[in-house]
Structure 1
Amino acid sequence: MSAPSPDRLDPLRAPAHWQAVEFVSDLHLQSGEPQTFELWRAFLQRPVSQRADALFILGDLFEVWVGDDVLDTSTSPDQTFWRACADALEAFSLQTPVYFMAGNRDFLLGAQGLKACGMQGLSDPTTFDFLGQHWLLSHGDALCLADTDYMRFREQVRQPTWQREFLARSLSERTTIARDLREQSEARKRNTAHDPSLWADVDAAAARAALQAAGAHTLIHGHTHRPAVHALGNDLQRVVLSDWDAGANPPRAEVLRLDTHGLRRIPLPLS
């Protein structure tokens, strides 16, 4: 199975006045983990003077998204939480543009959900022209080629026919299916937690090929929850975003900022 081909995509070009942008991914927002949501909301409520010119969310903003009707008061048991998420983002987006790329948990976020959150959707991958250079943005899951079981699953659930049939089910049925899939995923993680060599990671050759096709030098992605910088040879690199978990020990929450000084990781205050 091959990686996606960014050379077929038109690049996103930053306006000339932009001086800084910020990237986050893998917040996995859910009603059962209010600490992470409150940290996220505080981040969004910063004064405009403290913000970058744009915010990029590279997937898995939500732990699960089973359809845009979760925002409908008549159907969603967690509607208050989802509406709070949408309202916080929409308020932020009134003064700072927000770009969203789907992850493996929230790929069903559709036009209604994007509009409610004030976000602009991005294809995966996207080439980004900023500060005179090409950057390649991705969630990262499509490059984890060694995880063959997941890659087959990903190919299936990204099909329009599968998505139409899934979204035609009742909300309660979709929620049950999503919960079962999450439990299976967590069981797999527990079974491999003792041996990091078993953890799926981005394929280096696929990352190099994607960068070369895009004419970019740096791939920025999430998904793996292992923040690091990986040299890929020939001055190419991939930069991995941090996940967020304010309730972990130690807690995790980090923003990647790109400006005229380069890339910087900014830990968020957790109290």
Structure 2
Amino acid sequence: MTILFISDLHLSAERTDITDCFLTFMKEETKGIDALYVLGDLFEMWIGDDDNSPFHQQIKSAFKQLTDSGVPCYFIHGNRDFLVGKRFSLETGVQLLPEHTVIDLYGKPTLLLHGDTLCTLDDDYQRYRKKVHNRFIQWLFFRLPLSYRQKIGNKLRSNSSMTNEAKQQDIMDVTPEEVEKVMADYQVLAMIHGHTHRPDVHSLTVDSQPALRTVLGDWYDHGSVLVCTPDGCQLETRDFS
């Protein structure tokens, strides 16, 4: 009995090493598992479900093979792929979850999320997030030709990289008070998220009770997987070939 969690792969056609590691993971490590959860930023950029590039088809095929085998797969949007939609879900069998989702992880209620909403000190990002999640703005964006959306996506990605380089590191990390508040709101003592690219397991106190916050790693230098069984969870890495 095993449930796997991954996030922040930032898959792109340019990083074949990450893609190869991911495809190997999907082929060799997901057979017969109880479930696979992807907690956002699967893709470096997603500008719409109508982008049927050979690269995206390859990734979607890997998920379709998994779900066709009977393994459920779940996806929570990240800040890079928040436009993944129903068509992607239908083509892959991957089930889209709300941005905050509580699951029963082998008897322990656990809150899953991407993690960007916890970074409340990053005012610029939170304003940007509110804008791009506006349904009307998304409606307008999807009516642009695919080539225009690609240019806009590339520009936003470039701006994001330059902006993040200028920010203090603590601003881009989660706010401890927000973590405690969210966990208390959902009445959980366990949380799993990605986004910050700082894999670790943090002990904290929520409503005077001991709690754990597990942060998933990114896939920039090696693969990163949280492996959970009824006996507990372990953060593991996977080498690029």
Fold shared by both chains (TM-score > 0.5): yes
- SS of the equivalent of 2:66 reads helix
- SS of the equivalent of 2:195 reads coil
- SS of the equivalent of 1:68 reads coil
1:232-271 alignment, distance < 5 Å? 232-233=204-205, 234-245=209-220, 251-271=221-241
> Which letter maps to 2:164?
K
Q: Deviations over 1:18-56 (max 9, x none)?
A: x3211000000000111101110011111665x521000
1:47-196 alignment, distance < 5 Å? 51-71=32-52, 79-95=53-69, 96-192=71-167, 196=169
Asked if 1:40 is matched to 2:13, the reply is no
Cα gap change, 1:261 to 1:148, in 2 (>3 Å): same
Tell me the TM-score normalized by structure 1.
0.84
Give the CA RMSD over aligned residues: 1.4
Contact 1:208 1:236 in 2 (8 A): no
Stretches (4+) displaced over 4 A: none
Q: Deviations over 1:76-131 (max 9, x none)?
A: xxx11111111111111212111000000001011001222220001011011132
Unaligned segments of structure 2, at least 5 residues: none
Tell me the TM-score normalized by structure 2.
0.94
Cα gap change, 1:171 to 1:218, in 2 (>3 Å): same
Alpha-carbon distance in structure 2 between the residues aligned to 1:205 and 1:190: 25
Contact 1:58 1:102 in 2 (8 A): yes
Cα gap change, 1:29 to 1:47, in 2 (>3 Å): closer
> Which letter maps to 1:196?
Q
Alpha-carbon distance in structure 1 between the residues aligned to 2:169 and 2:75: 30
Alpha-carbon distance in structure 1 between the residues aligned to 2:159 and 2:105: 40
Relative to structure 2, which stretch is displaced further, 182-191 or 117-126? 182-191
Alpha-carbon distance in structure 1 between the residues aligned to 2:10 and 2:36: 17
Alpha-carbon distance in structure 2 between the residues aligned to 1:29 and 1:264: 23
Aligned residues: 237
Alpha-carbon distance in structure 1 between the residues aligned to 2:133 and 2:95: 19
User: What percentage of aligned pairs have identical amino acids?
Assistant: 35
Q: Deviations over 1:241-265 (max 9, x none)?
A: 00002xxxxx221110111121111
- SS of the equivalent of 2:36 reads strand
Partner of 1:218: 190
Unaligned segments of structure 1, at least 5 residues: 1-18, 72-78, 246-250
> Which letter maps to 1:220?
I
